[in-house]
Amino acid sequence: MPNCPECTARERKKIQAKYEAETVEENRGRDDLFKLFDQVEIPMKMDSATKHFICKRCGLYATREQVSDIKYRLNQKEKTREDKQDDYLEWWQKSKKDKELD
């Protein structure tokens, strides 16, 4: 059964907030966070009559295609935010290097 994309995203946000509150910045690792993310399991139920998946927690009702579509969109949102952070980090490190050269 697929995990509910909405609930999973919400749960991950909570885990991330907790992780960032408990772990000092230099000890944080993306892999550690992803390992925690992998533990999130909110399986949906299959309604065999309508071939739809139902989330008991949030009430999401969707076909397999819709579930993967929502999941994809939520992932994209996450990715864009991370990419922006990476860009910023890169820019920052580069500007630091430039400063050291001067």
67 touching Zn ion, by CB under 5 A: no
From candidates 9, 12, 55, 62, binder to Zn ion by CB under 5 A: 55
* Nearest distance in Å: CB 7, Zn ion: 3
* Nearest distance in Å: CB 41, Zn ion: 12
List, in order, residues 6 or more apart from 35 with CB less than 8 Å away: none
From candidates 7, 9, 62, 67, binder to Zn ion by CB under 5 A: 7
60 touching Zn ion, by CB under 5 A: yes
Binding residues for Zn ion, rule CB under 5 A, total 7
Rounded-to-10 torsion of CA 31, 15, 22, 84 = 60
9 touching Zn ion, by CB under 5 A: no
**What's phi and psi for 4, nearest 5 deg?**
-70, 120
Partnered with residue 47 across adjacent β-strands are 52
From candidates 18, 35, 45, 57, binder to Zn ion by CB under 5 A: 57
The two structure tokens encoding residue 84: 């922006």
Spatial contact of 7 and 55, defined as CB atoms under 8 Å apart: yes
- Binding positions for Zn ion, rule: CB under 5 A: 4, 6-7, 55, 57-58, 60
